[in-house]
Amino acid sequence: MVERVDALMRSYVEELGDSTALTLFDRLPHGKRLRAKLVLKIARESKEALKLASIIELIHAASLLHDDVIDDAMSRRGVDSINAIYGNKSAIMLGDILYSKAFFELTTLSDEIAKTISNAVTMLSIGELLDVELSKEFNPDPRLYMDMIYKKTAVLIEASAKSAALLSSKDSEAFALYGKNLGIAFQIVDDILDITSDTKTLGKPALNDFKEGKSTLPYIYLYEWLDSSGKSQLLNLYKKALNEDERRWLLEKMRESAAIERAIQKAKALGNEAINAVDDPSLKSIISDMIDREF
Amino acid sequence: MVERVDALMRSYVEELGDSTALTLFDRLPHGKRLRAKLVLKIARESKEALKLASIIELIHAASLLHDDVIDDAMSRRGVDSINAIYGNKSAIMLGDILYSKAFFELTTLSDEIAKTISNAVTMLSIGELLDVELSKEFNPDPRLYMDMIYKKTAVLIEASAKSAALLSSKDSEAFALYGKNLGIAFQIVDDILDITSDTKTLGKPALNDFKEGKSTLPYIYLYEWLDSSGKSQLLNLYKKALNEDERRWLLEKMRESAAIERAIQKAKALGNEAINAVDDPSLKSIISDMIDREF
């Protein structure tokens, strides 16, 4: 099924009749196609569901292209990013091409779906701006973090689930809630893995986010728990390349404070709320597979 | 009327509830609002016409934001560009925000208008890619140049005129042709002015395009006219900062070859075709004002 989404996405780009655009598109990593799988699971296989899934994945690919330029990211899913290979210009242009083709195809779906998806893209771009804003200085406010990851990550997953439900006459609000919580929980888990998961190259956690100015949920919880001298020490490490002592201090305080566990609990609570919103075993397993990754 | 377009555009951005986005938006130069004026002239004042005009100007503003990043342009209409003041990231993000909000608002207009505009945006982004491709080496083919400026410049003007005609039940194909020719002629004239018009700072023509790798129509015509040693000399000057002798040679050959006049004739022929397509005196004067600038 996901192969059919890949093929449809490619045919949309091919239709534009520009060989450079197609060459660039073919260099994009396919990713997990989480959003497409979700659409197809909720709406079942149909011509319209495949179309919706492909449109959403084009939008997601476009947003990643622009994200990578904005974040100066040189790789994406283990392969060199388009901006690293072909430069920022190509990444911006290909992103614009995929966005606009997706919007064009969206006009062939129902008004309500077109509105749902295009509204999500607007919030998605606001989310990118919020992410950059929040990375300027340490953010201790969990609400700002939650709002940002909702927009940056969850909003398109929410719109995917909602649109798929609309397509198949299911309860769109329930599925929207499912998608929203799945997306937020997914991002929380991703942010935790930056602290807990050993990288292949380092053999230890990357701790990249904090260096890049991203105060993710575990850091916010840790900050809440620390006393004032601990808070100062944490702020000292913000945006810094850490030496061994500093790494050790940080990971030790994460352990003592149970900040990671608290963040995992938050993700699980959101996941449970999502599972309860829709009565569907296969959607339940998406949530549990996503949350029960190895922390 | 154009003030009402400006106000509506701003309210669309304000609705997004993000102060940074609004601050950035307020720093954008307003430009001539050519596309909005065209829409309002064709469709007359109505709520829908104002909405259409504002959507198109948001799209145009978004494309300029991304253009300026792609072209490393530090100023736009005499003021510092957003990428120059706030960096490329902000320009990319604001562009994405304006594009996506425009698409969201587009879903409230008729299907045919939504398709017309969104298809134009797809071609517009392909046009940007073609422009970059054609700037890699000297392009002697006028068809490639015409195709590129059609997509990069004319396609959104074509879609503006066509959509406005659809809104007011006029002959949409005739107005589409008018818009297309207006757009192409406009770009040809703009490209000519780079060679003929004295800049305030230099007191002589900028000749920027050729230095930036853009082989515009006069250069293509000149190349056709030159003998083989002249052709080599022209290719030698491509992408180069010219010294006085080289400038003089180039402008002298432009004069001898009448390449500029040939390009002006091409723009005029397109303009006449546009005027004949629609029987409307005010649309006629838009064309003549645009073409009869001081070369």
* Domain finish residue from B93, B109, B125: B109
Selection from B104, B58, B59 nearest residue A106 by Cα: B104
Do B86 and B174 lie in one domain? The reply is: no
How would you classify residue A240: left for phi > 0, otherwise alpha for psi between -120 and 50, otherwise beta? beta
Q: Is the pLDDT of residue B100 over 70?
A: yes
Distance CA B158, CA B165 (A): 11
CB contact under 8 A, B20 and A129: yes
Do B9 and B133 lie in one domain? The reply is: no
Q: What is the mean pLDDT of residues B31-58?
A: 95
Do B163 and B225 lie in one domain? The reply is: yes
The pLDDT profile of chain A, 295 residues, written as one tens digit per residue, is 889 999 999 999 999 999 999 999 999 988 889 999 999 999 998 999 999 999 999 999 999 999 998 888 777 767 788 888 888 889 999 999 999 999 999 999 999 999 999 999 999 999 999 999 999 999 999 999 999 999 999 999 999 999 999 999 999 999 999 999 999 999 999 999 999 988 776 678 889 999 999 999 999 999 999 999 999 999 999 999 999 999 999 999 999 999 999 999 999 999 999 999 998 988 998 888 888 876 7
- Please report the residues numbered 41 through 70 in chain B whose beta carbons come closer than 8 angstroms to any beta carbon of chain A: 63, 66, 69-70
- Please report the residues numbered 120 through 149 in chain A whose beta carbons come closer than 8 angstroms to any beta carbon of chain B: 121-122, 124-126, 128-130, 132-133
The closest CB to that of B125, out of A93, A115, A125, belongs to A93
Do B39 and B60 lie in one domain? The reply is: yes
CB-CB contact of A295 with A253 (8 Å): no
| pLDDT tens-digit readout, B107-138 | 999 999 999 999 999 999 999 999 999 999 99
Do B134 and B72 lie in one domain? The reply is: no
* Domain finish residue from B82, B109, B136: B109
How would you classify residue B17: left for phi > 0, otherwise alpha for psi between -120 and 50, otherwise beta? left
Residue of B nearest to A69 (CA): B89
Q: CATH number of the domain that A192 lies in? A: 1.10.600.10
Residue B84 pLDDT level (bands cut at 50, 70, 90): confident
Selection from B211, B207, B209 nearest residue B237 by Cα: B211
Distance CA A57, CA A66 (A): 14
Do A85 and A134 lie in one domain? The reply is: no
Distance CA B132, CA B66 (A): 13
CA angle B134, A94, A165 (to 5 degrees): 150
Do B32 and B11 lie in one domain? The reply is: yes
Residue of A nearest to B70 (CA): A89
pLDDT at A263: 97
Distance CA B67, CA B194 (A): 18
Q: Does A19 lie at the interface with B, CB-CB under 8 angstroms?
A: no
Distance CA B103, CA A265 (A): 38
| Residues contacting B160, CB < 8 A, separation 6+ | B35, B38, B39, B52, B53, B56, B179
CA angle B33, B34, B39 (to 5 degrees): 100
The closest CB to that of B122, out of A70, A89, A104, belongs to A104
| pLDDT tens-digit readout, B281-291 | 889 988 888 88
pLDDT at A16: 96
* Domain finish residue from B56, B91, B109: B109
Count the domains in chain A. 2
CB contact under 8 A, A106 and B118: yes
Across the strands, what pairs with B80? B75
Do B21 and B144 lie in one domain? The reply is: no
Q: Is the pLDDT of residue B161 over 80?
A: yes
pLDDT at A74: 76
B107 φ, ψ (degrees, to nearest 5): -70, -10
Selection from B176, B174, B178, B212 nearest residue B194 by Cα: B212
Q: Whole-number mean pLDDT of chain B? A: 94
Do A42 and A67 lie in one domain? The reply is: yes
Distance CA B44, CA A88 (A): 41
Do B158 and B241 lie in one domain? The reply is: yes
Encoding tokens for residue B182? 């207006």
Do A158 and A294 lie in one domain? The reply is: yes
The domain containing residue A239 runs over which residues? Answer: 111-295
pLDDT at A77: 66
Do A139 and A217 lie in one domain? The reply is: yes
